């Protein structure tokens, strides 16, 4: 008894149980929150690790692509021939390889679209190199055969005067064919930009379409008839410009996509022609490159600077 009032033991016990139940609930909530916080922390660590792993993989892919390009560059450096036309094409391909290496080095590894595009260009350049090797081997074989034919002709010419005149003419004909060749060539290749009014411009914002012009030079040994001239125009980023009229063509066993094309009647005499590239929505500032082809090979290159 305290101050004359008896404490109720049942009420006191119920109050203790209620307090303990409340404390137990708080502990449960705290434990649940701690578990959730730990789970979130683990999830964040997992995401960070995954992201770091992906970035490392992309960096490794870029490094591997760069090494493959540098290896291909060395292969091109070691490749040579005794033919001026092939050496000129090799110089062009070497420059493309060097340019692609620089572009790869400047590209972020996380830009997967560009890395995949560069991988395709690597495959194209490898294919071109294989074609060079086949072409050089074929020309060497042909050269050896012609040399042997000429030697046989000279031997026979020493045995009989009448045979000498006929065989000498055959050797002269073969030598002339090898020297002149039957490949169609071009000169005066250039690329110009035109505005909506049909006037030449050098401003990208006013450019409506592009015009490639060239002349197929005279060559009586070249095949006569229809010749399709294809152009490939690349923007300052090295992206090929194409539209709904773009078609594919084959050069030395390699399939390529043309920006535009034109068919002309070639009879061995010089032919002037122009090819418009329409349907391109936007033109950016920088240097545009032009390549012209027939199915026999590259005719030449030109550049255009738009401000």
Domain extent, residue 152, equals 140-180
More confident residue, 297 or 33: 297
Residue 10 lies in a domain: no
What pLDDT is recorded for position 23? 76
- Same domain for 192 and 174: no
Average confidence (pLDDT) over 98-121? 83
- Same domain for 235 and 161: no
Residue 54 lies in a domain: no
- Same domain for 262 and 167: no
Residue 35 lies in a domain: no
- Same domain for 257 and 228: yes
- Same domain for 299 and 200: yes
What pLDDT is recorded for position 300? 95
Question: Which residue, 180, 208, 230, sits at the end of a domain?
Answer: 180
Does the pLDDT of residue 54 top 60, yes or no? no
pTM for this structure? 0.44
- Same domain for 277 and 173: no
Q: Residues 211-237: pLDDT tens digits?
A: 999 999 999 888 899 999 999 999 999
Which residue matches tokens 């078609």?
A: 247
Residue 80 lies in a domain: no
Distances 305 to 57, 60, 211, 275 between C-alpha atoms, Å: 38, 36, 13, 18
- Band (pLDDT 50/70/90 cuts) for residue 1 is very low
What pLDDT is recorded for position 254? 93
Pairing verdict, β 200-201 and 186-194 = antiparallel
Q: Residues 67-97: pLDDT tens digits?
A: 888 888 888 888 777 778 788 888 888 888 8
Question: Which residue, 152, 180, 208, sits at the end of a domain?
Answer: 180
Residues 278 and 241 sit within 8 Å (Cβ to Cβ)? no
- State the Cα–Cα distance between residues 29 and 137, nearest whole angstrom: 81
Domains identified in the chain, total number:
2
- Here the CATH number for the domain that contains residue 213 is 2.60.40.10
Least confident of 89-93, 150-154, 173-177: 173-177
Q: Residues 268-294: pLDDT tens digits?
A: 999 999 999 999 989 999 999 999 999
What pLDDT is recorded for position 286? 96
């Amino acid at each position: 008894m305290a101050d004359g009032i008896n404490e109720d033991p049942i009420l006191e016990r119920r109050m203790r149980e209620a307090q303990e139940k409340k404390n137990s609930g708080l502990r449960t909530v705290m434990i649940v929150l701690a578990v959730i916080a730990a789970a979130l922390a683990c999830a964040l660590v997992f995401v960070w690790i995954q992201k770091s792993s992906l970035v490392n993989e992309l960096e490794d892919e870029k490094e591997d692509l760069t090494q493959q390009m540098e290896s291909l560059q060395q292969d091109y450096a070691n490749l040579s021939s005794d033919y001026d036309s092939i050496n000129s094409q090799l110089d062009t391909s070497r420059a493309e390889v060097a340019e692609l290496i620089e572009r790869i080095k400047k590209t972020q590894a996380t830009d997967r679209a560009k890395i995949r595009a560069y991988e395709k260009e690597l495959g194209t350049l490898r294919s071109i190199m294989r074609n060079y090797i086949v072409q050089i081997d074929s020309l060497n074989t042909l050269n050896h055969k012609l040399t042997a034919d000429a030697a046989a002709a000279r031997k026979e010419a020493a045995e009989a005067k009448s045979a000498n005149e006929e065989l000498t003419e055959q050797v002269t004909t073969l030598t002339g064919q090898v020297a002149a060749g039957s490949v169609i060539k071009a000169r005066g290749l250039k690329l110009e930009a035109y505005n909506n009014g049909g006037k030449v411009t050098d401003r990208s914002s006013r450019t409506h379409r592009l015009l490639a012009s060239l002349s197929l030079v005279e060559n009586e040994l070249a095949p006569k008839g229809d010749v399709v001239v294809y152009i490939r125009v690349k923007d300052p980023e090295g992206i090929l410009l194409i539209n709904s009229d773009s078609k594919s063509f084959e050069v030395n066993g390699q399939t390529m996509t043309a920006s535009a094309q034109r068919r002309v009647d070639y009879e061995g005499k010089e032919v002037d022609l122009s090819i418009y590239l329409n349907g391109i929505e936007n033109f950016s500032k920088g240097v545009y490159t032009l390549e012209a082809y027939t199915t026999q090979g590259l005719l030449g290159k030109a550049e255009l600077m738009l401000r």
